[in-house]
Amino acid sequence: MFSVVNLKDKLVSLRTFLFSSKFWLPGLFLVLIFCYAYRPLAESDSFYHLKVGELIWQTGEMPHSDVFSYTASGSFWVPHEWLAELIFYGVWSVSGFWGLIGFCSLLASIAFFLIYRMMLERGVNHYLGSLLLFALGYFALELWVPRPQTFAYLSFVFLIYCLERYRAKRELKYLCLVVGTIWFWANTNASFILGIVVLGWYFISSFVSRRYSLEDNLGSTPRSRNIFLALVASVALSLLNPSGYHIWLYSWYIAPTVKALDVFEWRPIWRYFYEFETKVFLVELAVSAVLLLWYMGWRRGSRDWTLLGLVFGISILPFLSIRHVGFWPLAAILPLSISISGLLSGIMESANQKKIVLVVGIVGLAMLAGRILAWPKLYFDPNYVPSFAADFIEQNNVKGPFFNLYNEGGYLIWRFWPKEKVFIDGRSEVYTLPVLEELSAIYHSKPGSEKLIDEKYKINYFILSYRGASERVVGLVRTLINRNWPMVYWDDAVLVFIRPSEENMPVINKYAIRHLNPFRMPGDIPQEESKEAALEANLLLERIPHSRVIEAYIWELLGSRKPQEVKPGQ
């Protein structure tokens, strides 16, 4: 029976909980996770996913052949991420790019909240757990971007959450949720096969544990037959998608293109050993392996072969492909937190709890303040997304066809399709080896490349990314300069070269950059070109005032000239 006194007591209890460290401390770190996952878009694929979602929404049909490129038009396409793309487009339609980024950051916070719930259920100290939640997941937060992999990460965490709940409570509803999760995952990203493998591992672990009476610190081992039935149902339901069995073959479809282009996100992690983040991750991986082998594999009373096998299996993935690195912290945080909390339990119980809260809280607030001070001002990273170049092309009504490289294709689809189509983009299953050979011929200026440019594709302009460029890009730029293709645009992301034709002369006369380019050192510009180079420099700063690359280049140019050669205002 309703009572005002009971309501008052509940409100008091709620207020007490909200002001307790058990609420606001993990809340602080979940906010930190949201803020550090909230990053400007720094790659191109997010944009073509939006365009696919828009296409599905407007036509009510699923595209199964290419419509975005002029080199592979009509070729076979597996829209395995259709549901994610539709969701992204819906969120973008309502809230724009900032809202879309925030949506993905929110998904990250939800995933880490589920991990935190599992940590508490396994007895992890909530002060220590709050700190470990952020510390162990920090280096993977940049991966929670508007790409379908975000739903793969969320599905992966929810799958483990349901399987762990089933291990602890033996309730069949959690296996039903597992099957539903696999279906959702299969319709948002082809990595759902990882979910099938994880479910298979839980079945094997349960089967072996029951058969050989292995220790399980959760109590009795769950029935392996129920997990097996969930596995069979998951495999069957995964086929309920617009592409059918093709999503199981997706990795096979893209393998030739990935190998031919040496796509960076499909490279193994050891190829990035020169990066600081990679070294930190590998150290974290090694230390975690030693700790888990001892605490969950060797030490009696804390063995958990299921979680141990899960982490070691996921640890292999980054060595197959760097794109899978984001799964490791999601799998490792729970067992690592259990192990660390168990080892430090005596210290945590005897320590001054108020001091722990104070120290952890100060660390969290300092991290939050640092992130707020560095909050992004643009929804995209101008170093990687050719937004300003696309503005230039649209404002000057420059017509295609255009040549672009792999990494920029997704954004150019978003900006120019259906008026213009791209040469190539990130949909690796679409492009056949003959198309890649033509791309290589143009990119490397091989014999016959002029015929491809002038006759087969009638390319009118080039959009070339050059930051961190290899010698191959430098060679193509030099070839275009030698063929008298003027550079008409240069910013921090791309260069634009345009065909020297009569119809393009208004743009060339107004914007041609003949003395400066990022591959010509300022000190190498002849003294007799100083005046013309300075004039071009001033025009570049006026047109692209946001470019730090051009600003640094011009300062170096001015520093390499004699005072009388370049007067102020020239």
Residue 23 banded pLDDT, cuts 50, 70, 90: confident
| Predicted pLDDT at 521 | 85
DSSP string spanning 195-228?
HHHHHHHHHHHHHHHHHHT---TTSSPPPHHHHH
* Mean per-residue pLDDT, 460-486: 85
| Predicted pLDDT at 17 | 46
Q: Which of 37, 183, 56 is nearest to 113 (CA)?
A: 37
**Burial of residue 258 (number of CB atoms within 10 Å: 0-12, 13-18, 19+):** middle
Q: Where are the domains of the chain?
A: 4-37+78-364, 387-560
In angstroms, the CA 506 to CA 508 distance is 6
In angstroms, the CA 58 to CA 485 distance is 39
Beta strand pairing call for 461-465 and 402-404: parallel
| Predicted pLDDT at 214 | 63
What secondary structure letter does DSSP report for 266? G
Residue 471 pLDDT > 70, yes or no? Answer: no
| Predicted pLDDT at 560 | 74
| Predicted pLDDT at 419 | 95
DSSP string spanning 336-361?
HHHHHHHHTHHHHHHS-HHHHHHHHH
| Predicted pLDDT at 20 | 62
How many other C-beta atoms are found inside a 10 Å radius of the C-beta of residue 324? Answer: 21
Residue 423 pLDDT > 80, yes or no? Answer: yes
**What are the residues whose beta carbons fall under 8 Å from the beta carbon of 174, sequence distance 6 or more?**
162, 163, 165, 166
In angstroms, the CA 440 to CA 16 distance is 66
Identify any residues that bridge with 497 across adjacent strands, giving them in sequence order.
Answer: 462, 487
- Starting at the earlier edge strand, list the strands of the sheet with 494-498: 402-404, 461-465, 494-498, 487-490
In angstroms, the CA 163 to CA 174 distance is 7
Is residue 229 within 8 A of residue 285, CB to CB? The reply is: no
Distance from first CA to last CA of the chain, Å, rounded?
A: 85
| Predicted pLDDT at 568 | 44
* Mean per-residue pLDDT, 257-275: 88
Of 178-182, 242-246, 470-474, 541-545, the one with minimum mean pLDDT is: 470-474
pLDDT digits (tens, 9 = 90+) for 58-105: 999 999 999 999 999 999 999 999 999 999 999 999 999 999 999 999
Percent of the chain residues past pLDDT 70, beyond the cut: 92
Residue 15 pLDDT > 70, yes or no? Answer: no
In angstroms, the CA 124 to CA 23 distance is 15
Considering only the top CATH level, what class is 387-560? alpha beta
186: helix, strand or coil:
helix
In angstroms, the CA 326 to CA 304 distance is 23
In angstroms, the CA 486 to CA 499 distance is 7
